Amino acid sequence: MSKLILVFLGPPGVGKGTQAAKLADDLKLPHISTGAIFRDHLKRETELGKKAKSYMDAGNLVPDELTVSMVMDRLGQPDCDAGYILDGFPRNLKQGEELDKALQARGESITAALNFDAPRSVLVDRIAGRAEKEGRKDDTPETVKNRLEVYDAETGPLTPWADGKRILHSFDAQGTVDEIYARVKVVVEGLKAGD
């Protein structure tokens, strides 16, 4: 089987991180999130990390080019040789296009984009429940609605982009973790079989 490169898409609260972690564990592939990459670069005080820190310290978003450079640095590590799962990256269309270009330069491409979706009311309830359980005060219904609006504007366009590339697989993210995972497994088994 060729290298399995999966991108997990979906709004906040949809459970894509949980599904990505389960699948990564199952397939023995790295589960890569930009948050972890940023923390690693900051901790190691790399050149990329120092550049990112200067933006973060000023309260600005790290530019797409720098984010993509940090991700590509991570994807070049030996544990990614058989493939990997990207969770929460790309975050916008520009990052998606930059990732595509960087992968093509390596003779690679995204195998599939797995898009998780659920009604907004379900997402708001899930995030509110998670916030209550974790004692987080920042996830009020208003901030959750704002996060979902930002997702729609910034990340939403990746769904038609992936569909246009014929790599999109969409899932109903309602049900138990195991029910949703069973849907994911069907698609991934098909990809592994070369469908």
Active site residue 136: yes
Active site residue 126: no
Count of C-beta atoms within a 10 Å radius of residue 132: 11
Q: Is the domain 4-192 a CATH 3.20.20.140 member?
A: no
C-beta separation of 8 from 169 below 8 A: no
pLDDT digits (tens, 9 = 90+) for 36-55: 888 888 899 999 889 988 88
Q: Which of 91, 94, 120, 145 is catalytic?
A: 91
The answer for residues whose C-beta is within 8 angstroms of residue 162's C-beta and 6 or more apart is 7, 9, 96, 110, 113, 115, 168
Ordered by start, the domain boundaries in the chain are 4-192
pLDDT exceeds cutoff 70 at 104: yes
Query: Quick one: pLDDT band at residue 129, thresholds 50, 70, 90?
Result: confident
Look at the pTM and tell me if it is higher than 0.85: yes
pLDDT exceeds cutoff 80 at 173: yes
Q: Which of 50, 101, 136, 192 is catalytic?
A: 136
Active site residue 130: yes
If you average pLDDT over residues 143-172, what whole number do you get? 91
Active site residue 94: no
| pLDDT on residue 144 | 80
